[in-house]
Amino acid sequence: MTDGALPEAGSSGGDLETRRISRRRLIGVIGVLGLGTGFGGRVLVNAGAASATGRSTVARRRAKKQVPQWMMIFDLRSCDGCKVCALACQQAHYLPAETEWIKVYELVGADGQPYYLPKPCMMCEDPPCLAVCPVGATFRTDEGVVLVDQDVCIGCRTCMAACPYESRYFNAEPGPKAPPQPFPRSPEWPVPQVVGTVGKCVLCAARLPAGQLPACASACGMGVIYIGDLTTDVAVNGLGKTVKISEFLRENDAVRLKEELGTNPRVYYIPGHGQQLDAQG
């Protein structure tokens, strides 16, 4: 397993702004699919029917007081290892260069061919990190997002040792100076990071109710990363492609990392090239 350096801003990763779907379009896509909370917006395909379906889905969820159950899918068949997702995450959260909330590994498959594996926090349904935190700084939201309250975290790093995916990072140094942010600072949007605490991928949880995809998904020009809602059984990627989660995972033999540990991660991978992912992560 090798882990190369992230591309510099403006390098071969391309201009992130040109590779992002506009906020207006994302609101439309997520709203129609019922992925957000009462979002409206335009429809990309079959406007009339899809719009009516979206409105009825939102209405039903409001009536039942359902909340989204967020998850992610990585379609490795399209991943070229460009690491734009990792760079976009760093830039969005003003992380130090050495802190990668989503790491992209270069691995070798059973056929001897290289492939790439992006790895964020697995957003486990049974997270070991939560159980060992002595002060309750780690918690899981009703939407299934595992977060860290850095105003409570004492930096003991017990959660880092407990995470079988090595997806947590200690904030030893301050990150780049952050300008005024689009969201109030909170566990859902921990910008800037608090030195002496633990941080990790937050699934850009503050962006989701605003109709925006996570930074990694919207920046990926290959459409590798999907954000999905298990409640509505629909996921969307940064290119506007939508899939029915249950069918997409089943038909493409999706897997999760280290399933044998019983953590029940909400991050799924579609190998597609004969890779054996169960030992990775």
- Residue 230: is it exposed, middle or buried by C-beta count within 10 angstroms (0-12/13-18/19+)? middle
The better pLDDT of the pair 245, 9 is held by 245
| Predicted confidence (pLDDT) per residue in 199-252, tens digit | 999 999 999 998 899 999 999 999 999 999 999 999 999 999 999 999 999 999
Output the average pLDDT for the chain.
81
pLDDT confidence of residue 75:
98
What CATH number should be reported for the domain whose range is 16-125+202-270?
A: 3.30.70.20
pLDDT confidence of residue 66:
84
- For the cut 80, the answer to whether the pLDDT of residue 20 exceeds it is no
* Extents of the domains making up the chain: 16-125+202-270
The better pLDDT of the pair 263, 9 is held by 263
- For the cut 80, the answer to whether the pLDDT of residue 183 exceeds it is yes
| Predicted confidence (pLDDT) per residue in 83-123, tens digit | 999 999 999 999 999 999 999 999 988 888 889 999 999 99
> Nearest 5°: CA angle at 44, between 39 and 50?
65
Share of the chain above pLDDT 90, in %: 69
pLDDT confidence of residue 27:
44
Nearest to 203 by CA among 147, 163, 131: 147
Q: What is the DSSP string of 31-92?
A: HHHT-SSS-----SSSHHHHHHHHHHHHHHHHHHT----EEEEEETTS-----HHHHHHHHH
pLDDT confidence of residue 113:
85
Rounded Cα distance between 100 and 86, Å, is: 6
The better pLDDT of the pair 16, 219 is held by 219
pLDDT confidence of residue 41:
23
pLDDT confidence of residue 109:
82
The better pLDDT of the pair 175, 28 is held by 175
> Nearest 5°: CA angle at 71, between 243 and 166?
135
The mean pLDDT value for 27-50 works out to 35
pLDDT confidence of residue 275:
57
pLDDT confidence of residue 16:
42
Rounded Cα distance between 155 and 194, Å, is: 10
pLDDT confidence of residue 111:
80
pLDDT confidence of residue 163:
98
pLDDT confidence of residue 110:
81
The mean pLDDT value for 150-179 works out to 97
Neighbours of 151 (CB within 10 A): 12
Between the CA of residue 246 and those of 44, 45, 150, what are the distances in Å?
22, 21, 35
DSSP letter assigned to residue 222: T
